[in-house]
Structures are given as C-alpha cells and as structure tokens.
Amino acid sequence: MDPQVPKERIPSYEKVEEKIRELDGTVIILRVFYSIENISYKFQLLKNNKMCSVEIPRKLLEELRNGDAEKEEELTLILKTCLKESSS
C-alpha cells in the first residue's frame, strides 16, 4: 500500500481543496497517499457516502504553485471527471 501523506507535505494542497469546494461543497478529502509507482498523489474523496479516488501528478501540483492558469484548468478537468464518475 502507498504511504499516507499529511496535507502539509502535499504541494498545492490548499489549491486542490479550494477547487474541490468550488466544484462540489459536499465533497470531503479523507486522506492522501503518495504513489511512488506513478509519481502522483492519490486523493481519497467522500461524496454522498461514496468513496472515490483521484490521482494528481506531483508535477502538476508543483506547477500550480506558480499560479499557472493552464495548470489550474488541468486540475479542474481532473477533479470534474472524478466527481462526475463518482456520481454515476
């Protein structure tokens, strides 16, 4: 199993949390794991008593620190896709 990571060690965690709240205020971030194999962070989310997971590449999270609008759009697309699939 991948190691769990505290939010303080996740690049741009606040940006991810903010974007999730914008898309759906009912979603809760349960925990985050670091996937060494995929070099990404796996966010486990809870929406309407259903758990879903979304993997966000570490590189994308690091690039979000620079305020790149294109990277923010990429994050939004990843999160929208995950939340849409979890609603089905």
**pLDDT tens per residue, range 58-72:** 999 999 988 888 999
Q: Rounded to whole angstroms, what are the CA distances from 9 to 13, 29, 34, 61, 62? A: 8, 15, 10, 11, 11
Confirm whether pTM is higher than 0.85.
yes
Stronger pLDDT, 87 or 46, i.e. the higher one: 46
* Of the candidates 11, 21, 9, 70, the residue with the CA atom closest to the CA atom of residue 45: 21
pLDDT at 88: 62
Q: Tens digit of pLDDT for each residue in 31-41? A: 999 998 889 99
* Of the candidates 57, 40, 48, the residue with the CA atom closest to the CA atom of residue 86: 48
CA distance 16 to 8: 13
